[in-house]
Amino acid sequence: MIETRDESGVLIIELARADKRNAMLPEMLELLHDAITSNTDALAIAILGQGKTFCAGFDLKACANDPSGDTMRALLTGLSKCVRTLRQHPAPVVLGVHGAAVAGGCALLGGADIVVADRHAKLGYPVVKIGVSPAVSSPFMLASMRPGIVRTRLLDTDLIDGEHAYKLGMVHELCDAPSDVHDRAVEIAESIASKPGSGCRETKRWLNEICAVSDEQANAGLNASLELTGNDEERERLAALWGES
């Protein structure tokens, strides 16, 4: 579900569940977290998705099949842990979004220093439709974007394209075609890794200091999402959604 390789000091991590549009499972997030934490000597990190889509978010079939809410809770907890770890990693992180980054997939943007996307990629947080709060993403978004934009994106269930996301500051560089995203993201990561000395790593450390997301803030966002998990509304909407798909 996760594939990694090291090229010229760049740790390349690929979400490798292409047949499910790289939809997240709890064990997938554990593997992602392990890949990040076990490579602290990387000079840069590039996170990509295999197949036609970067990430469609959580695997809602798995969530619908677990009415206890434990799968959803594990996904929210694992997602928060991965985004925190990406932000805290000493190496700059480049995220390559092609096709779509939806809900939990879009939340990964909060752990990136640089986001590359194709112009027509679909991004957003539509999870309020199923009674789930995207509050888990809010502390990381607020560290990167203006509060008014964060409010709109978390409350508006519509997806926006890469060009709109670029104008809002969610995306930092656009590619004309989805097929260009991987190469460009890796190219940026390799450029960062090739810089002499520790300038990039020290700059990221300083940026993390002045734009910090504290554990208290991250836990508050996670807990706000967890509090709504496993209720009747969520179970009913998940069942209806999965029945329609």
pLDDT in tens, the chain (245 residues): 899 988 889 999 999 999 999 999 999 999 999 999 999 899 999 999 999 999 999 999 999 899 888 999 999 999 999 999 999 999 999 999 999 999 999 999 999 999 999 999 999 999 888 888 899 999 999 988 889 999 999 999 899 999 999 999 999 999 999 999 999 999 999 999 998 878 888 999 999 888 889 999 999 999 999 998 877 777 887 777 665 44
- Calpha distance 230→74 (Å, rounded): 12
Which structural domain range is residue 194 located in? 2-244
47: domain CATH number is 3.90.226.10
CB 33 within 8 A of CB 26: no
Q: Which tokens is 71 given?
A: 């799968």
Residues 149/122/137/240 CA torsion (nearest 10 deg): 120
Q: Which tokens is 155 given?
A: 């409350």
Q: Which residues of 42-76 are buried (b: 16+ CB within 10 A; e: fewer)?
A: bbbbbbbbebebbbbbbbbebbbebeebebbbbbb
- Calpha distance 66→62 (Å, rounded): 7
Verdict on whether the full-model pTM lies above 0.85: yes
When divided into structural domains, the chain yields a total of: 1
